[in-house]
Structure 1
């Protein structure tokens, strides 16, 4: 599995930008290790909506919803989850915990809708919901690592690489990818198993992560790489 800079964000990133990154030597390979973990970030009804619907309809239910692209990603997360369950590899669910008035802070100021989510919005999407064997990681900020025990859980299970899925590509996914990279984990991002409300923002962030922090490829390619591991 390797990041193909010509396939990452094909409709957004211009040839000059690609050439500059190539000339600077970015985008080197960073293959998965032998002990991967799966991170399923914020796949809650508040980000998908309770039914598969276009963005303009989905945001009427939850302003934090990303619409039908979220459900497309859920389908691919389910495929990855099946592989991890088969192999007995760790699956962790970093997720935004229900917000209280004292949680508003800067996030509440920038995204006021997040302070108005009902209880059902915080539930995990049924198709990829955790089981008793999985690890729940409640978080208050975008990164799954910031102020949580995620690193401790990964170290305890001798994890050397993470497959990062969920949402949003530009927000919690990206923040978590950067922190995972900073902790020296190899990082894989299946481009069709993460989602965002804007295709332009989604593709631009995939390109940048591929150049600096992660291997970005399709779910099919990630699954193929996982199946080669012992």
Structure 2
């Protein structure tokens, strides 16, 4: 069963298939892992129902974040074992000069306590991981991400984190535009809206990325690439 089954009507799914959308493109030989915005401001400091979580951090996605974290951990373990690169696009603490269109649209972004920007301990960066502060949804926009990936000779991006409809999708579309093979583990990304999560996974799977479970992703990664040391 796909994450979008029961949300995207079967007739619409058939229409996409009939039009030739949704073919998998496969993986390359040099994958890199993106862990986007998995910070306490999007998860809360512990698993809580959404309406409780937003009392701690208004930008929290609630329990769905903590359901995704173990899957991100599994991917991270494989990348660590293989010596494959891990990159952390993330939002740095907001300052007064960070006012912009996004702050106009979502003022709560400017009120997050500084500790909310800490990386979740279970998947926090290690030495030699690449940290990429960003101001906008896409991990590529206004950052040196493309330059790092070229230096690393990466050809495949495994994209995890949040939100599925925002920073994950924006990064996937831009990565696709840069001609990277894009892979999205559907249970290793999260969103405060189940409908937006499902619809965006369907759209990415149709046009921009291979979308599969973490287990399927690990199996595919296990058959490709070489340890990079």
The structural deviation recorded for 1:32 is: 1.1
1:65-76 correspondence to structure 2 within 5 Å: 65-76=60-71
1:137-173: per-residue Cα shift (whole Å, max 9, x none)? 0000000000000000000010001000000000000
151, 157, 160: which one aligns with 1:165: 160
Aligned to 1:150: 145
Determine if contact 1:92/1:135 at 8 Å carries over to the other structure: yes
The structural deviation recorded for 1:8 is: 4.2
User: What 5-or-longer segments of structure 2 have no aligned partner?
Assistant: none
In 2: Cα distance, 1:174 partner to 1:23 partner:
24
36, 61, 74: which one aligns with 1:41: 36
User: What 5-or-longer segments of structure 1 have no aligned partner?
Assistant: 1-5
Aligned to 1:228: 223
Aligned to 2:181: 186
47, 50, 54: which one aligns with 1:52: 47
Give the count of matched residue pairs: 225
The structural deviation recorded for 1:184 is: 0.2
Aligned to 1:125: 120
The structural deviation recorded for 1:20 is: 1.3
Aligned to 1:140: 135
CA-based RMSD of the aligned residues comes to 0.8
State the TM-score, normalizing by the size of structure 1: 0.96
In 2: Cα distance, 1:101 partner to 1:210 partner:
38
Divergent runs of 4+, >6 A: none
